[in-house]
């Protein structure tokens, strides 16, 4: 998002909610505009915490073929999906129209600065050229360290351990939302972040400020949305850095604040 804003790249947004995206609207956009690529997070979307169904992924892929649009598939939480049968769009791409991105930031640590891109053959040379002009090459030391990690089997063991600990947090979050915020629409998928849909009258910034005074820190969603396009009225609930025993307390605090209108009108 920051990249698009910094380089003022022309971009069109499409509304995504708990129900997914409107595929007819996507088709209209593909038909009407000269779109080079469609960027999407099919798995555990940030900030919604929702995933596309197999049918939605197939439909998006078919639209991309029909209108010759490339899909940039950001699978940044691939290592954390509890449903191992959940394949990315890339798996079924028979026409070289998917650019698949995976990050190691969440499963290892962000400072490693390693991710991977699987490119359609037609793009490999120009991608390489652009990458060379940007940073010559990715850090050899980081790549060598990751290679050692992968080859020795340590990555697999660590991945299991880390994803299990995130799963525990995700499940506590999901359960706490069900218990303390039952009347709010929320994602039912277990993910380290989720959201609730806020009523119109809630001033989200005031609510966030009020909660911060009680040591419950929530981020606004401003950085997740394009300027000038539709925004969901949501409260993003992220527990990736929250100790297990604090999650329920935090969600209880959010519920308490929401039940007291003086806090946010
Ligand atoms: C949507 C999305 N994609 C990718 C990433 C990972 O980015 P990077 O690998 O550059 O750290 C994140 C990190 O939070 C993210 O939210």
pLDDT in tens, 147-187: 999 999 999 999 999 999 999 999 999 999 999 999 999 99
Query: Which residue has the least CA distance to atom 3 on ligand 1?
Result: 76
Ligand 1 is surrounded, with C-beta below 6 A, by 41, 46, 74, 76, 103, 105, 110, 115
Ligand 1 centroid–CA 103 distance in Å is: 6
Ligand 1 centroid–CA 150 distance in Å is: 21
Q: How many other CB atoms are there within 10 angstroms of residue 188's CB atom?
A: 11
Measure the CA–CA gap between 205 and 220, rounded to whole angstroms.
7
Contacts of 104 (CB under 8 A, 6+ apart): 112, 114, 115, 116, 146
Q: Which ranges of 48-153 does DSSP label H, i.e. alpha helix? A: 54-66, 124-135, 140-151
Strands 20-21 and 16-17: antiparallel
Report the atom number in ligand 1 closest to the C-alpha of 41: 1
Strands 98-103 and 115-118: antiparallel
Query: Which residue has the least CA distance to atom 2 on ligand 1?
Result: 76
Average pLDDT, the chain: 94
State the pTM of this model: 0.94
pLDDT tens-place string over residues 193-240: 999 999 988 999 999 999 999 999 999 998 899 988 888 899 999 999
pLDDT at 55: 97
Q: Span 94-108, mean pLDDT?
A: 94
Q: Span 44-63, mean pLDDT?
A: 97
Residue-level length of the chain: 265
> Which of 46, 49, 221, 225 for mutating ligand 1's site (highest number of atoms within 8 Å of CB)?
46
Grade residue 29 by pLDDT with cuts at 50, 70 and 90: very high
Phi, psi of 95 (to 5 degrees): -115, 20
Q: Span 84-108, mean pLDDT?
A: 94
Query: Which residue has the least CA distance to atom 16 on ligand 1?
Result: 46
Q: Span 101-111, mean pLDDT?
A: 89
Report the atom number in ligand 1 closest to the C-alpha of 104: 9
Ligand 1 centroid–CA 78 distance in Å is: 11
Ligand 1 centroid–CA 75 distance in Å is: 9
Measure the CA–CA gap between 95 and 71, rounded to whole angstroms.
11
Measure the CA–CA gap between 241 and 232, rounded to whole angstroms.
24
Contacts of 88 (CB under 8 A, 6+ apart): 42, 43, 57, 73, 75, 78, 98, 100
Tokens 């439909």 -> residue: 59
Residue 20 region, left (φ>0) first, then alpha (ψ -120 to 50), else beta? left
Report the atom number in ligand 1 closest to the C-alpha of 115: 9
What is the full DSSP assignment across 2-14? HHHHHTT------
């Amino acid at each position: 998002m920051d990249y698009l804003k910094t380089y003022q790249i022309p971009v069109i947004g499409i509304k995504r909610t708990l129900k997914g995206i409107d595929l007819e609207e996507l088709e209209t956009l593909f038909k009407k505009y000269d779109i080079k690529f469609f960027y999407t997070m099919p798995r555990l979307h940030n900030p919604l915490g929702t995933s596309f169904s197999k049918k939605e992924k197939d439909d998006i892929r078919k639209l991309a073929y029909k209108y010759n649009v490339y899909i940039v598939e950001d699978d940044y939480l691939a290592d954390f999906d509890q449903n191992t049968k959940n394949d990315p769009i890339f798996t079924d791409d028979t026409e070289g129209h998917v650019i698949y991105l995976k990050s190691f930031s969440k499963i290892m640590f962000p400072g490693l600065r390693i991710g991977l891109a699987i490119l359609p053959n037609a793009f490999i040379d120009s991608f390489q050229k652009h990458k060379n002009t940007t940073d010559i090459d990715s850090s050899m030391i980081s790549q060598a360290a990751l290679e050692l990690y992968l080859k020795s089997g340590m990555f697999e063991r660590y991945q299991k351990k880390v994803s299990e600990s995130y799963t525990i947090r995700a499940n506590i979050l999901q359960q706490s939302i069900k218990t303390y915020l039952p009347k709010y629409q929320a994602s039912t998928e277990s993910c380290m972040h989720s959201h609730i849909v806020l009523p119109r009258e809630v001033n989200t910034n005031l609510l966030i400020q009020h909660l911060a005074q009680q040591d419950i820190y929530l981020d606004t969603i401003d950085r997740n949305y394009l300027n000038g396009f539709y925004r969901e009225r949501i409260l993003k609930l992220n527990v990736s850095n929250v100790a297990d025993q604090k999650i329920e307390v935090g969600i209880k605090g959010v519920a308490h604040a929401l039940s007291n209108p003086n806090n946010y009108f």
